[in-house]
Structure 1
């Protein structure tokens, strides 16, 4: 039986990622149109470092990439190298009007682009962070 570590001691664990109401609305619309989703934030190059939204299974995380949590029930993966840089930061997924780099993300035809706002965790938060799942 699969045990989701993000549901264990949920009231005591500090989430690594949250989502704004505006992003929730876009995610709901995308899920209604495309079904199950997933998010991936790459480490640069052509796609930049903006998070991208795909149909579940439409993108395969690389070995040792990190899943930092669930966004509206959908996995949020981060490039392994980018995670090493941002591992002490809380992520807030937001959405803006405009077109992000690459144009492969599902929100692009809506004239939207997902964006992450970062803040450093406090020392107290670092002691109780939700676990990270690595792609093996």
Structure 2
């Protein structure tokens, strides 16, 4: 619920947004939030899905590391990444993860 609330707050200020999960910040635990039209999705980026209509992408190399896990978008106290739209709000997005079960991995194909 906290992630959805922060998404709504940021969308009210900035319009359409997207998330990009890369390995560059905080060991890859901080998804970066950008205005949708201000971030170029790379050819090797992978779309993981959407949260409340907001697309979530991950870099190709990070996907290879994380593909066996479910990434969970959370919010914690603190400052976001320098260029992320959650910066300066005294709360930031955080990616948590859990390893998929064998059944979930089989379903993903």
TM-score relative to the length of structure 1: 0.73
Greater helix content: 2
Please list every run of 5 or more consecutive structure 1 residues that lacks an aligned counterpart in the other structure. 1-20, 132-136
Q: What is aligned with 1:99?
A: 79
Pairwise CA distance, 1:103: 1.3
**Match runs of 1:5-84 below 5 Å:** 21-44=1-24, 47-48=25-26, 49=28, 50-84=30-64
Higher CA-based Rg: 1
Aligned length: 107
Q: Which runs of structure 1 show a deviation greater than 4 angstroms over 4 or more consecutive aligned residues?
A: none
Structure number with the bigger relative contact order (C-alpha 8 A, sep ≥ 6) is 1
- CA RMSD across the alignment: 1.5
Please list every run of 5 or more consecutive structure 2 residues that lacks an aligned counterpart in the other structure. none
TM-score relative to the length of structure 2: 0.90
Q: What is the CA–CA distance in structure 2 between the aligned matches of 1:57 and 1:126, rounded to whole Å?
A: 33
